[in-house]
Amino acid sequence: MKRLLLSMLFLALIMTTVSGTASAKSNHMSEKELNKFLLNAGTPQEILESMDLDTKEFIYNNSSDGEVNYGAKNTNFFSVDPQTNKLTKVVEPDGMMSAKAYISSSDLKLTLYQFNVTSGGVSYKDIYAEYNWIDYTGMGGNTGVDKDHIAIAVPDGWEIQSGQYACANQWKADYSGATWSAPNSSACNNGNPGEYSLYGAGWQFTGPKIDSVFHKGTVKLRMRKQDSDAINRVVVLYSEANSSAFGYSVGFTWGPASVSITPNTGSNNTGSTDLSW
């Protein structure tokens, strides 16, 4: 009965949610076509196999306005400590632990992708930061991803390109046969960051406000190197609101390839991943 009620709630949420635009194009291609696009961009086969269909389509929709070449990727896993209720990075297995067990012991996965894009004769870096709540039971104290934040920080010597942002999130109920909702940006300000800095951008999620569902999403910014000596590194920070009660808000502190998110009221959990190339 509980799963039936959850299913009905989930379907009602989808029907009543206003769809947002995940990207400027929102082109729907077959997975075969998306794989061809990414392979032609030099994406290694093992990286391609680790992407789901929604990630592939999001990258195509937001980076195919020029010549695209794969750059780099990094992923970290986090678990919620049952005693402190804090996100802790899961130590990568040393061969004694299978990859499957490694993933199943995690609650949150954070991934950074970097793609090289040449458009109008100008070279850019497209940065994608992806979160995936593998186990929603680790989402301590929060209601879904409501009032969670995600931010990308860049180093000195890089210029973030105005109007080249994107964001979309998705959810899936926990019952047999459930599928992911369509990528939707209405819960993250239609893809526009709520926080801007010379050193990065941050997005806030405003729903869905339901527990017992899986959540994932991706944000993107484009940057251009202005100083040939600038380091090639970006950082993503995910902030989980321990309470999404009325009045919860946060403050951002930025530095070169550095960002912190501090609640003005209440508390949060954070996890961070970096990528160098």
Across 78-82, 162-166, 231-235, 270-274, least confident range? 78-82
At residue 228, the pLDDT reads: 96
142 compared with 30, residue with greater pLDDT: 30
Predicted confidence (pLDDT) at residue 215 exceeds the cutoff of 50: yes
Task: Provide the 10 A C-beta neighbour count for residue 54.
Answer: 19
Q: What's the pTM value of the predicted model, to 2 decimals?
A: 0.86
Can you give the residue ranges of every domain in the chain? Answer: 20-276
Mean pLDDT value of segment 154-158: 98
Give the 3-state secondary structure of residue 272: strand
Mean pLDDT value of segment 166-181: 91
Mean pLDDT value of segment 142-161: 91
223 compared with 80, residue with greater pLDDT: 223
Helix (H) or strand (E) holding 275: strand 268-276
Predicted confidence (pLDDT) at residue 221 exceeds the cutoff of 60: yes
Q: If phi over 0 gives left and psi between -120 and 50 gives alpha, with beta otherwise, what is residue 25? A: alpha
Across 176-180, 221-225, 245-249, least confident range? 245-249
- Whole-number average pLDDT of the chain: 85
Residue owning tokens 């964001």? 167
Span 64-106, pLDDT tens digits: 999 999 999 999 999 888 777 788 898 766 554 444 444 555 7
Best CA proximity match to 188, nearest among 171, 176, 173: 171
Phi then psi dihedrals of residue 185, to 5 deg: -105, 0
Q: How far apart are CA 101 and CA 87, in angstroms?
A: 18
Best CA proximity match to 275, nearest among 39, 134, 110: 110
